[in-house]
């Protein structure tokens, strides 16, 4: 129980972080950068030198929401 609460908390804070933000990454996805950081880097990856491109994070948000829901369902079953 305690473990799933911890996971839920982590997932929720991750979701909060992802939500409404714009990320940039290079072709090889060395790292992800927020728009502000990417513009400071002149949209060039500091690791490999490739161009940084806009990365849609909607799939990440969807996956996070799905996982949160799944854990919530599981934990409510256990406590019921
Ligand atoms: Zn790179």
The pTM of this model reads 0.74
Examine residue 55 and state whether it is found in any structural domain, yes or no. Answer: yes
Contact yes or no for 70/8 (Cβ under 8 A): no
Distance 5 CA to ligand 1 centre (A): 35
Distance 46 CA to ligand 1 centre (A): 7
Examine residue 33 and state whether it is found in any structural domain, yes or no. Answer: yes
Distance 25 CA to ligand 1 centre (A): 7
Query: How many distinct structural domains can be found in the chain?
Result: 1
Domain that holds residue 46: 21-79
Contact yes or no for 25/55 (Cβ under 8 A): yes
- pLDDT band at residue 74, thresholds of 50, 70 and 90? confident
Q: Is the pLDDT of residue 11 over 60?
A: yes
Examine residue 14 and state whether it is found in any structural domain, yes or no. Answer: no
Q: Which residues have a beta carbon within 5 Å of ligand 1, which is an ion?
A: 26, 30, 45, 47-48
| Residue-wise pLDDT tens digits, 30-67 | 999 999 999 999 999 999 999 999 999 999 999 999 99
Examine residue 63 and state whether it is found in any structural domain, yes or no. Answer: yes
Whole-angstrom distance, CA of residue 33 vs CA of residue 48: 14
């Amino acid at each position: 129980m305690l473990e799933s609460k911890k996971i839920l908390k982590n997932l929720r804070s991750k979701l909060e972080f992802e939500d409404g933000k714009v990320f940039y990454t290079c072709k090889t996805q060395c790292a992800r950068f927020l728009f502000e950081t990417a513009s400071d880097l002149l949209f060039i990856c500091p690791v490999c030198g490739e161009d940084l491109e806009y990365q849609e994070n909607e799939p990440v948000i969807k996956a996070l929401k799905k996982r949160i829901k799944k854990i919530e369902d599981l934990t409510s079953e256990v406590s019921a």
